[in-house]
Amino acid sequence: MKPARHLLQGLLVAASLLLTGAPHAQQTAPSANTVKMDSLRGGVELSKEVPVTGARQQRDTGVKDRDFVQQPPLVPHTIEGYQITKNFNKCMDCHAWQRAKEAGATKVSVTHFRTREGQELDNISPRRYFCTQCHVPQTDAKPLVDNTFQRARGLR
């Protein structure tokens, strides 16, 4: 019966700790100078969906200069609603070689037909299929932090 007695003693200690702890908890209750914390989710519970706000894409502009030659060019038009799924790629509607002329769009780069093993395909390579992995549209949001990035010397 010894273990049962230990358990009982333990419970009593825990209960008294809870009781004596109570006044301390009151001392640290929110006061006027408590910092109010807010997450990027804006205080919305994790189980709830946060409505998308204000991520406005820039309207169609001219093709943008690149900052280094190997850069995936930035998308100079909105891509809102353009789907890229297993069966359909909206980007290729205009950027495929057989469509580009009519659409006035740049043809996808020849590098986009090579598999990672170096095999040249006659259609877009699977590793280049999800265009927005690398090509992104722009928004005129203010940078969150300063940075000292400069265009590659060869392109200045």
Residue 16 or 65 having the CB closest to ligand HEC:
65
Residue 16 or 132 having the CB closest to ligand HEC:
132
CB of 44 to ligand HEC, least distance (A): 29
CB of 29 to ligand HEC, least distance (A): 52
Q: Give the SS3 label for residue 113.
A: helix
Structure tokens at 18: 């809870």
Residue 58 or 76 having the CB closest to ligand HEC:
76
CA distance 29 to 97: 66
CB of 31 to ligand HEC, least distance (A): 51
CB of 71 to ligand HEC, least distance (A): 6
CA distance 139 to 150: 19
Task: Please tell me what DSSP assigns to residue 75.
Answer: B
First to last CA, the chain: 84
Under the rule (CB under 6 A), what is the footprint of ligand HEC?
62-63, 70, 72-73, 75-77, 79, 82, 89-95, 103-106, 108-109, 111-112, 124, 128-135
Residue 31 or 70 having the CB closest to ligand HEC:
70
CB of 134 to ligand HEC, least distance (A): 3
Task: Please tell me what DSSP assigns to residue 127.
Answer: G
| Distances 120 to 99, 111, 115, 117, 125 between C-alpha atoms, Å | 20, 9, 7, 9, 8
Residue 108 has a CB neighbour count (10 Å cut-off) of: 18
Residue 9 or 106 having the CB closest to ligand HEC:
106
